[in-house]
Structure 1
Amino acid sequence: MCHACVMDRVKQGMLSRRHLFTGAAALGAASVASGLISARPALAQSSGRVVDLTHAYDETFPTFDGVPGITKEWAVKFEESGYQLWKLTIFEHTGTHIDAPLHFSADGASVDELEPQQLMAPLCVLDITAKAAQDPNATVEPEDIEAWVSANGDIPAGACVAMHSGWAAKLGTPEFRGTPDGALAFPGFSKAATDMLAGLNVASIAVDTLSLDPGNSQDFAVHFSWLPGGRFGIECVAGLDQLPAAGATVFIGAPKHTGGTGGPARVMAVV
């Protein structure tokens, strides 16, 4: 989600949560190590097929607040100088991008502080396309996680759990962002689900929509609980329909600007 329309809410909700990170750091280290161990055999058994989970984006790409997330202008033109480059102005939370813990906490880890081991993880894909087709604000619930585990086995510690709602196919239409009257409407995670995933030592979650929370959320409960716990999220993911429910390994090309609350990312999966 982007900055402008929730800034006041974020400022009001931001409290120092340093004590949360003390416990999360020890738990997170174990989760990261376990996730990395789980990813290695999956890679060894993979076909080597790479799926790009990243949308290309420009100033027309939908954003949470409706403000263009990127603008560009020529800084140097080839015909004038023999080489060329753009000057880019980018908001961090646009396109396929990372939400770092610092995004919704006063003193959480910034995007450059994410452990490299967290950026390669087993990928678990939860398919909620059927209920998302009936309800644009559908959410991943604990029973969806339980159904996934029943069908695929335990979710590895350190994993990235992705919500496949079918929303990526709506990109380029007004429905990707919301309803004809301008209301935000898209699927996301429920807090009950992310609380369960936190208990399973999952390191990150991903969505194929504009926000970890559903479009009709008024309290951003997932952002305010998941991110300050030392975990991160990925929004506006593409290509989940090309992946199995289990067995893929995700590579998250997080940006590394100092003190960043997140930023555009190149995300890929190996199957």
Structure 2
Amino acid sequence: MLKAGFTLGVASMAGAGGLLGSASRASAATGPLSFSSVTDMTHTLYEGFPTFSGEKWFEMEHPVTWEKDRVNLNRWTLMEHTGTHIDAPIHFSEDGNSADLIPIGDLLCPLVIIDIRQKAAEDADAYLTPDDIAAWEAEHGEIPEGACVAMNSGWSAHLKTERFTGLDGEGKNHTPGFHPEAARLLIEERSVKGIAVDTLSLDRGIASGEFPVHYEWLGSGRWGVECLTGMDEIAASGAYILVGAPKVAGASGGPSRIVALH
């Protein structure tokens, strides 16, 4: 976590690329966005980073090296949805926006963190439910306009263990995720831009092959983020999330550098 003191005015940020954009119209009424800490919410991507199937989705070759060429240049081969990454609407829809077409103003927004660590520790198939959303709002007020709602299940701590994929002997994965009714509530009753998880999937792992949350959430034109880390360092409300999504034409998603400003 980087500690510093920053105050970014809405007008100056708009002039520097329109970062606040439509996602933060509410901030314009309350003044500048101020923060003193920056937390990296991104896992380091490496060969063998876990996937649901166990397949290797990221490889790095070294065709140009310092020893041979006095230059370092690597070649990456990857599936878009590996490591800490964004899911663009087109990932689970016929004609949604690809990653490069998501408005930049939608990628900086208030961050809501809903903590389900206790029940996830007791049950790997735990859901983030409408009741969890209601409990968060009872303590912090209604979810801010244009927010990203993130599930903190504590799963990032399991990255180097078999628990992270939750794969059992029958080929099913057991990891927490959003309940379809929770996603539907955020679509129909709250003005939310994105949802995020610290697991491999927006859906509960046991639902692999069905993906009801992926279809409904991304199909509604919203984005998702998977494999976050660092949420234990961030308050449940008051922070902002900045998603450095790849600007690749037609991409259904891709590895992203994601930070919290708080």
Name the TM-score class by shorter chain.
Answer: 0.7 to 0.9
Inter-partner Cα distance in structure 2 for 1:51 and 1:186: 24
Structure 2 residue aligned with 1:214: 204
In structure 1, stretches of 5+ residues that fail to align are 1-31
RMSD, aligned α-carbons: 1.7
CA deviation map 1:7-51 (0-9, x unaligned): xxxxxxxxxxxxxxxxxxxxxxxxx95631345688946442000
Structure 2 residue aligned with 1:268: 259
Structure 2 residue aligned with 1:121: 109
CA contact (8 A) 2:87 2:224 kept: yes
Equivalent residue pairs, number = 240
Q: Does 1:92 align with 2:80?
A: yes
Structure 2 residue aligned with 1:229: 220
Structure 2 residue aligned with 1:52: 40
Inter-partner Cα distance in structure 1 for 2:219 and 2:254: 17
1:42–1:76 Cα change, 3 Å:
farther
Question: Larger RCO: Structure 1 or Structure 2 (Cα < 8 Å, ≥ 6 residues apart)?
Answer: 1
Letter in 1 for 2:114: L
Structure 2 residue aligned with 1:249: 240
Q: CA deviation at 1:137?
A: 1.1
CA deviation map 1:34-89 (0-9, x unaligned): 63134568894644200000000111210122111210111211122211110110
Structure 2 residue aligned with 1:136: 124
Of residues 88, 92, 114 in structure 2, which corresponds to 1:104? 92
Q: Higher mean Cα deviation, 67-76 or 254-263?
A: 67-76
CA contact (8 A) 2:59 2:76 kept: yes
Q: What is the TM-score with the length of structure 1 in the denominator?
A: 0.84
1:34–1:114 Cα change, 3 Å:
closer
Q: Higher mean Cα deviation, 200-209 or 75-84?
A: 75-84
CA contact (8 A) 2:58 2:79 kept: yes
Structure 2 residue aligned with 1:24: none
In structure 2, stretches of 5+ residues that fail to align are 1-19
Larger helix proportion of the pair? 1
Q: What is the TM-score with the length of structure 2 in the denominator?
A: 0.87
Q: CA deviation at 1:156?
A: 1.2
1:41–1:128 Cα change, 3 Å:
farther
Structure 1 residue aligned with 2:195: 205
CA contact (8 A) 2:126 2:177 kept: yes
Larger strand proportion of the pair? 2
Structure 2 residue aligned with 1:190: 179
CA contact (8 A) 1:160 1:203 kept: yes
Q: Higher mean Cα deviation, 71-80 or 235-244?
A: 71-80
Letter in 1 for 2:204: P
Identical pairs, percent: 45
Inter-partner Cα distance in structure 1 for 2:74 and 2:235: 38
Is the partner of 1:169 in helix, strand or coil? helix
Q: CA deviation at 1:179?
A: 4.4
Structure 1 residue aligned with 2:135: 147
Of residues 161, 177, 180 in structure 1, which corresponds to 2:149? 161
Is the partner of 2:228 in helix, strand or coil? coil
CA deviation map 1:232-268 (0-9, x unaligned): 1000001111110000010000001100000000000
